[in-house]
Structure formats: C-alpha cells, structure tokens
Amino acid sequence: MLKNKTMKVENAVSCCVNNLHHQMYDIIFEAVNEEMRKYSVFQEENYLTELGMDTFADEWFEFYHEHHGDIMHQLMNKITN
C-alpha cells in the first residue's frame, strides 16, 4: 500500500513539473519583454544602425532577439544556480 501511494505521489509530482515547465518559461519570457520595454535602448524607434537613424526591420528584429535571448540565458542560469 505504501509503495502504491509513493508511486502516486511521484507521478503527481512529475505531472506538476511537466505541466508547469512550459508555463514558467512563458511567464519568464514575457517578464523579460516587459522589463526590456522599460529601457529606451530596446525600443524600436531608438534603434540606430551603422547607416544612421534609419530603422531596418531585419536588423531591429535580430538586435532585439539577440539581447532578449542573452537576458533569458543569464536569468535561467541565475535561477538554476
């Protein structure tokens, strides 16, 4: 009987982790977006290219997502360490 309850608990814990894993990633992903919005350097209208004040969609996309990924990576490292 005890072994059966232990298995049920282990399965329940595993289900909780699996179900929350993606939700937590989405929450952190959105939190990074919200935090980045606070800084003018990450606002598209303030993005400068080597060619001057022009904003280029491809370059902006790459710039924003490169730094978003860097923030996510550093944050995930802090969480897991």
pLDDT in tens, 16-63: 998 888 888 899 999 999 999 999 888 877 766 666 555 566 777 888
Q: At 81, which amino acid appears?
A: N
Report the predicted TM-score, pTM, of the whole model to 2 decimal places. Answer: 0.69
Euclidean distance between CA atoms 69 and 56, whole angstroms: 20
Q: Where are the domains of the chain?
A: 25-80
Q: What is the three-class DSSP state of 56?
A: coil
pLDDT at 34: 95
Dihedral in degrees, nearest 10, Cα atoms 78, 79, 80, 81 = 40
45 versus 72: the higher-pLDDT residue is 72
Helix and strand numbers (H, E) in the chain are: 2, 0
pLDDT at 6: 76
Dihedral in degrees, nearest 10, Cα atoms 68, 35, 58, 53 = -130
14 versus 2: the higher-pLDDT residue is 14
